[in-house]
Structure 1
Amino acid sequence: MLKDVPTKFSGAKAYEYCKYLAITIGPRLTGTAGEHKAANYIAKMFRSFGLKTRLQRFPVTTFEASKCTFQARDGKTWRSYAVEPVGLSKSTPLRGVESEFALLDNADSEYFSGRLRDKIVLLLGTMNMADLPKLCSFGPKALIFMDSGIADEPIRRVFRDYQRTKKGNLPMAHIKHMDAVDIAKRGLTRGRLNLQLTEKKSYGLNVIGEKVGSDRTDEIAVVCGHYDTSMGIQGASDNAGGTAIMMELARVLTAEPTRRTLRFVAFACEETGLNGSLYYADDLAKRDKREKNKATFDPKLHTTELDRHRLVFNVDVHGAILGNSGFQYSGVDDVGAAVRLLTKELGVHAGVSKGPMSSDGSALAAVGVPAVQYARTGGTTRFLHSTRDQMKFISAEALAQAGGFSEVFLRRYVIDAAALAFPRQIPKDQEEALKAYHWPELKKTKKKKAKKRSTARPARRS
């Protein structure tokens, strides 16, 4: 209950969904059996709630790491340090790579130079992968990210499949911050990395459950969360917790009439670059274009399925016993104002900011759908993308708090509203930031078509 506002959301039920995903199923890396098992579990639960349920399948690349070792030379001996591979990065030769270190204390590309050639680059923090081609052009042997946060183990990260094909690739791994400090304090200057990754083609499954509205059936609100994880971890808060909230909202909100169509979506493959939500959004965009190109399409009489998408409410990273709540929104300022006013009314301490979040709601915002994205930060969320993102740091009370707010927001602005409080509009000043969330294959297809048109022979004049 939120400040004496009754809700039907059950934190206990959400906790059980979360526990099943995180512990009973466990790791849910893109395209693996664990992810597919989770998809079938969510689909089963959706059907039990009475939702019309389907699975949207799409191609992905997954991987296994058979070896990832890193050592630094300390005099005549080699000192070993734990590292985690960057998934879908490049393998080293079987014997590994060995070289002097080149230290970069930030990822500003203007400092990339020939001094990186044939070196193992140690980079503090992360980098904009758009700068990877420039880094690769100087010929380093490998790249090791020195985590900027203080943690017990290196984070587990996956390189986006399209980034490596379009922007270059090299062997990459993460080392925890304090091990990097140890290397620096000891003055170690030479190391060797052995990274062996095996890739295979697989598929992802978006799980879609829908309840059709009673009198506003042509207005669709998407409630979503991703259910996959980084490699080999429970992913309790990221994002079994968010998925569990979405599932409990599905149970509660579909038990009663709704004026608008509610579409609950559990997205796959978010950790490998929003693959599931980008595929979903791209599919809507391509069908929208085909329909509007038909001679029979009249914008005054007809709408596409993309047009009918009016709002997306995305839940990502939730359930931590202690933490801070925050919202990011894409759309007109009234979207943010609606969230902000409700937090004040219900006594929910949360920040509200304009702009995209690196999560699934941004994929739909990039094709014109206003988005509200809800996350929990601080506290044990520092363990994201590591084996310490575990159920022991999750509580039913934290899930109930986030789920209760979400229920009230959706009832007020979607389910019961006589008219939607904000237009289906992404302002121009937000479009640039959202470009990064367009599906890259769609861009590639457009470029190819444009190239074909430019090389086509001109029609003969009669």
Structure 2
Amino acid sequence: MEILEKLAFTRCAGTPEEEKAAEIICEEVKTLGLEPQIEEFDVLTYADDEAWVEVLQPYEAQYQCSALGLSGSTPDEGIVAPLRYVETGQPEYLNHIAGKIILASQGGGFKAYEKAKKEGALGRIFIGQAGRDTPNVALNRCIRDRLGTLPTAYIKYEHALEMIKREASEVRLHVHQKEYWSKSRNVIAEIAGTHEPEEVIVIGAHYDSVYRNQGAHDNGAGSATIAELARYFAQNPPRRTLRFIWFGSEEMGLMGSWAHVEKQRNGLEKYVFMVNVDVAGGIIGSNSASVMGSDKLVNYLDVMGNELSRDLRVNQSIYSGDCIPLGYENIPSVTFSRGGGGTSYIHAPGDTLEHIDAEHLELLGEIVLEFTRRIANAGTFPFPREIPERIKKDIRDYMERGGRKPEKHPNK
């Protein structure tokens, strides 16, 4: 828990706080007798964001919101326009919205953003989950790069419900934020294999958070988990090389892992597998493994869970995390996570240490360690370096929803 407690502050991409978190991880790595490496990359980030909505007709009210980072800003006086509720915000609902501000329960991804811009929407208001604070998240930079900005805010579910029931017809939307280019960084530490050093297993976790958020579950706990794995393997060298990577700027659209893939392109053939840890530590929750790999890997994890007498829910599917860029390069992976309970607060101010304890942090950590120990020390690597065609298609579809063209790697 010690390193998790040290990381319990907002660590948004490209900020001094994210750099401070990287320094904390570097110091931890040095205590293990390892030499950390820094992999810098450019990132577009934001600060000083605020948003609110004023209802002007047929009643008057003001609702505090949160800005969608990187979605742009309104003029200081805001934007006044008719309001149109468009259900889930999917493209088929985005008709007759020219000159209007739309209210939607979901974002809809690249295609919805593209149609909203094409049809002439002036702004967007997304509805948060019932009983929760609004999230503090950012627009995927690839969508912004391809389509430009469209000021967007998140409103509480209860306030949106009131607006719909009272038939709010005209609103003033305020979205204000400072956007700027900065540096982010990945922290890398490597333990050379004793027998097959040319076979590299990536052990990954992102260490950044969203704004106004401790990022305890997501993903301070994951960062702490792989730090403990590094501690174990520094004392017990594996047959294969383990490359530990704490990725920056995951919350901005997996920017750290995309940057790593681009910078290490000539060495990717050595990467045989990735173990990713994203969201962990919850006192209330369940353990899961998302497999972007073969049926053999799925079956192996099922059996291992039973051997360890651990409830491990294994599914063969993509995971929205740093495994995606490596998966696009045909590097199989498993992402371990512990969801439920306090993890429902991720991306909002409620993602704090009070929902986590050492016992349940270790619960998932023991599973990750045992799996990693087995594959790192196997006489022959037990799984093929391949990803099923169905998963490959899901990866491409995921990239398209985020505005990233699959045939390109547009890191700045």
Same fold (TM over 0.5): yes
Give 3-state SS (helix, strand or coil) of 1:105's partner: coil
- Structure 1 position 75, deviation (Å): 4.5
What percentage of residue pairs aligned between the two structures are identical? Answer: 30
Q: C-alpha separation between the residues in 2 aligned to 1:398 and 1:309?
A: 30
1:87 maps to amino acid? G
Contact persistence 1:82–1:154 (CA under 8 A): no
| Contact map agreement 2:191 2:233 (CA 8 A) in 1 | no
Aligned to 1:51: 34
Letter in 1 for 2:97: L
* 1:343 match: 305
Amino acid in the other structure paired with 2:384 = P
Distance 1:256 1:31 in 2: 35
1:347-362 to structure 2, matched below 5 A, reads 347-362=309-324
Cα distance 1:95–1:309, how it changes in 2: closer, same or farther (>3 A)?
A: same
2:379 paired residue number: 418
Picking from 210, 213, 229, the partner of 1:233 is 213
The answer to whether the aligner puts 1:88 opposite 2:70 as a matched pair is yes
- 1:21 maps to 7
2:388 to 427, 444, 453: 427
The separation in 2 between residues aligned to 1:252 and 1:45, in whole angstroms, is 13
Confirm whether residue 377 of structure 1 aligns to residue 339 of structure 2: yes
Aligned residue runs from structure 1 range 54-453, under 5 A: 54-73=37-56, 75=58, 78-113=60-95, 115-147=96-128, 149-285=129-265, 287=266, 305-414=267-376, 416-435=377-396, 436-437=398-399, 440=404, 443-444=407-408
Deviations 1:366-423 (A, max 9, x none): 1111100011221111111111101111111110101111111111122x21111111
- What is the CA distance between 1:437 and its match in structure 2? 4.5
Residue 41 of structure 1: aligned partner = 24
CA deviation after TM superposition for structure 1 residue 57, in Å: 0.3
**Amino acid across the alignment from 2:181:** K
SS in 1 for 2:387: coil
* Structure index of larger Rg: 1
**In the aligned structure 2, how far is the partner of 1:33 from the partner of 1:258?**
35
CA shift, 1:248, in A, is: 0.9
**TM-score (ref. length: structure 1):** 0.85
Question: Residue 58 of structure 2 contacts residue 167 of structure 2 at CA under 8 Å; is this kept in 1?
Answer: no
What whole-Å deviation, never above 9, does each CA across 1:126-153 have from its counterpart, x for those lacking one? 3122331111111111101112x22331
TM-aligned CA deviation for residue 315 of structure 1: 0.3
* Aligned partner letter, 2:43: V
Structure 2 CA distance for aligned equivalents of residues 109 and 374 of structure 1: 33
Q: In structure 1, what is the Cα distance between the partners aligned to 2:34 and 2:343?
A: 32
> Structure 1 segments of 4 or more deviating over 3 A?
436-446
Instruction: Give the drift of 1:205.
Output: 0.6
AA aligned opposite 2:122: K
How far off its partner does 1:429 sit? 2.7
| Aligned-partner Cα distance in 2 for 1:354–1:166 | 31
Structure 1: stretches of 5+ with no match in the other structure: 1-14, 288-304, 447-462
Displacement after TM superposition at 1:257 (Å): 2.1
- The Cα offsets for residues 32-77 of structure 1, whole Å up to 9 and x where unpaired, read as 000000001101111211223200000001111343221213656x
The CA RMSD measured in Å over matched residues stands at 1.8
C-alpha distance in 2, partners of 1:222/1:437? 21
Count of residue pairs the alignment pairs up: 407
Q: 1:225 to 1:445 in 2, by over 3 A?
A: closer
Aligned 8 A contact 2:64 2:155 in 1: yes
Contact 1:155 / 1:176 at 8 angstroms: preserved in 2? Answer: no
Distance 1:426 1:445 in 2: 20
Amino acid at match of 2:285: G
CA deviation after TM superposition for structure 1 residue 100, in Å: 1.5
